[in-house]
Amino acid sequence: MKILGVVLAGGRSSRFGSDKAEASWHGGSLLDNAVTFLAPQVDEVRVAGREDAPVASLADWPAPGFGPLGGIAAALREACSRRFDAVLSIPVDAPMLPDDLSSTLQPGPSFLSELPVAGCWPVETLAPLEELMLSDRSKSVRAFAEACGARTVSLDRPIFNINTVDDLQRAHAFERETH
């Protein structure tokens, strides 16, 4: 199976107070960490929602402002045009995802119950996503997951989604305690 990985990095970081994609993690940024994390699990990596990225970037579809679905839609469109089978999506702000995320989420469509933006989306899910994006329905990842019949996957470990500086400090502290 040929998989395109996408780091969803188009958020405004309003609760964080600065660009959280650039926040420090393991001597690099959260963005660098996310790209490095995805690389061994997929065939290629893209970053959605920002132009300054360590790998090729994708503009959100159909336009900025649609949240994570804009990045997932852009990645699925790229995957379809380049003959990938699926997209593995992760957010830029979840630095401690399991190393076996790709295999855990396959076969898709599927997503993490604790973090719905982390998901495996076969290219066949593009049509229901485009329909959702162009409709007046809710533009949530859960609405998309429901529309395409995605399977929910639960992990037996905590997931840290970093929205504030305090969240980042808690994630660093948790990692120090467990490693």
Binding residues: 8-10, 20, 60, 93
Return the residue matching tokens 């998901």: 119
CA dihedral (144, 96, 59, 61) in degrees, to 10, reads: 0
The binding site for GTP comprises 8-10, 20, 60, 93
The binding site for Mg(2+) comprises 93
For residue 137, the 8-state DSSP code is: S
C-alpha separations of 106 from 14, 87, 129 in Å: 33, 11, 19
For residue 52, the 8-state DSSP code is: S
